[in-house]
Amino acid sequence: MADAVNPSSLDKATILGIVRDQLAEILEKSPDEIVEDVPFTDLGADSLALIELVEALEEALGKYSAGFHIDDEDLEGLLSVRDAVNYVADKLQVT
Protein backbone atom coordinates (compact mmCIF):
# COMPACT_ATOMS: atom_id res chain seq x y z
CA MET A 1 0.00 0.00 0.00
CA ALA A 2 2.65 2.45 -1.07
CA ASP A 3 0.24 5.18 -2.15
CA ALA A 4 -1.48 5.53 1.24
CA VAL A 5 -1.20 8.97 2.78
CA ASN A 6 -0.59 9.55 6.46
CA PRO A 7 -4.01 10.26 8.03
CA SER A 8 -2.42 12.72 10.45
CA SER A 9 -1.71 14.98 7.46
CA LEU A 10 -5.46 15.44 7.01
CA ASP A 11 -7.12 18.53 8.46
CA LYS A 12 -10.43 20.32 7.87
CA ALA A 13 -8.88 22.64 5.29
CA THR A 14 -7.63 19.63 3.30
CA ILE A 15 -11.03 17.95 3.58
CA LEU A 16 -12.72 21.16 2.40
CA GLY A 17 -10.39 21.25 -0.60
CA ILE A 18 -11.17 17.63 -1.47
CA VAL A 19 -14.94 18.12 -1.15
CA ARG A 20 -14.85 21.39 -3.10
CA ASP A 21 -12.68 19.97 -5.89
CA GLN A 22 -14.77 16.81 -6.27
CA LEU A 23 -18.07 18.70 -6.29
CA ALA A 24 -16.74 21.30 -8.73
CA GLU A 25 -15.74 18.52 -11.14
CA ILE A 26 -19.15 16.83 -10.85
CA LEU A 27 -21.05 20.11 -11.34
CA GLU A 28 -18.61 21.36 -14.00
CA LYS A 29 -17.90 24.52 -12.02
CA SER A 30 -14.79 26.21 -10.71
CA PRO A 31 -13.89 25.21 -7.14
CA ASP A 32 -14.12 28.95 -6.33
CA GLU A 33 -17.86 28.76 -7.09
CA ILE A 34 -18.38 26.08 -4.43
CA VAL A 35 -19.22 28.02 -1.26
CA GLU A 36 -18.92 26.13 2.01
CA ASP A 37 -22.24 27.02 3.63
CA VAL A 38 -24.50 27.15 0.56
CA PRO A 39 -26.90 24.18 0.33
CA PHE A 40 -26.01 21.58 -2.29
CA THR A 41 -29.35 22.20 -4.02
CA ASP A 42 -28.52 25.91 -4.42
CA LEU A 43 -25.24 24.89 -6.07
CA GLY A 44 -27.20 22.84 -8.59
CA ALA A 45 -26.44 19.43 -7.09
CA ASP A 46 -29.29 16.94 -7.40
CA SER A 47 -29.48 13.52 -5.76
CA LEU A 48 -27.46 11.92 -8.57
CA ALA A 49 -24.70 14.51 -8.17
CA LEU A 50 -24.61 13.82 -4.43
CA ILE A 51 -24.26 10.08 -5.05
CA GLU A 52 -21.37 10.87 -7.41
CA LEU A 53 -19.87 13.11 -4.72
CA VAL A 54 -20.10 10.35 -2.10
CA GLU A 55 -18.38 7.88 -4.44
CA ALA A 56 -15.66 10.42 -5.30
CA LEU A 57 -15.09 11.24 -1.62
CA GLU A 58 -14.89 7.57 -0.67
CA GLU A 59 -12.25 7.07 -3.33
CA ALA A 60 -10.27 10.23 -2.50
CA LEU A 61 -10.43 9.75 1.28
CA GLY A 62 -9.61 6.06 1.01
CA LYS A 63 -6.01 7.24 0.60
CA TYR A 64 -6.16 8.58 4.15
CA SER A 65 -8.29 5.87 5.73
CA ALA A 66 -8.54 2.48 4.03
CA GLY A 67 -12.13 1.52 3.40
CA PHE A 68 -13.51 5.01 4.14
CA HIS A 69 -17.28 4.85 3.62
CA ILE A 70 -20.17 7.29 3.91
CA ASP A 71 -23.22 5.46 5.24
CA ASP A 72 -26.39 5.78 3.15
CA GLU A 73 -28.46 6.70 6.19
CA ASP A 74 -26.14 9.67 6.83
CA LEU A 75 -26.70 11.21 3.39
CA GLU A 76 -29.89 13.05 4.30
CA GLY A 77 -27.97 15.02 6.93
CA LEU A 78 -25.43 16.26 4.40
CA LEU A 79 -27.01 19.39 3.00
CA SER A 80 -23.98 21.58 2.28
CA VAL A 81 -20.24 21.44 1.73
CA ARG A 82 -19.75 22.37 5.40
CA ASP A 83 -21.96 19.43 6.47
CA ALA A 84 -19.88 17.08 4.31
CA VAL A 85 -16.59 18.46 5.68
CA ASN A 86 -17.79 18.15 9.28
CA TYR A 87 -19.10 14.63 8.66
CA VAL A 88 -15.80 13.47 7.16
CA ALA A 89 -13.78 15.18 9.91
CA ASP A 90 -15.88 13.53 12.62
CA LYS A 91 -15.73 10.12 10.95
CA LEU A 92 -11.94 10.33 10.54
CA GLN A 93 -11.49 12.00 13.95
CA VAL A 94 -9.86 15.09 12.45
CA THR A 95 -9.88 18.24 14.54
> Residues 38-54: pLDDT tens digits?
999 999 999 999 999 99
- pLDDT value at residue 2: 43
Q: What is the mean pLDDT of residues 58-84?
A: 92
Q: Is the pLDDT of residue 33 over 50?
A: yes
Q: Is 67 exposed, middle or buried (0-12, 13-18, 19+ CB in 10 A)?
A: exposed
Domain ranges of the chain: 8-91
- pLDDT value at residue 76: 87
Supply the pTM of this predicted model.
0.88
- pLDDT value at residue 1: 41
CATH topology classification for 8-91: 1.10.1200
CA distances from 73 to 59, 94, 95 (A): 19, 21, 23
- Strand, helix or coil for residue 54: helix
* Percent of residues, the chain, with pLDDT higher than 70: 92
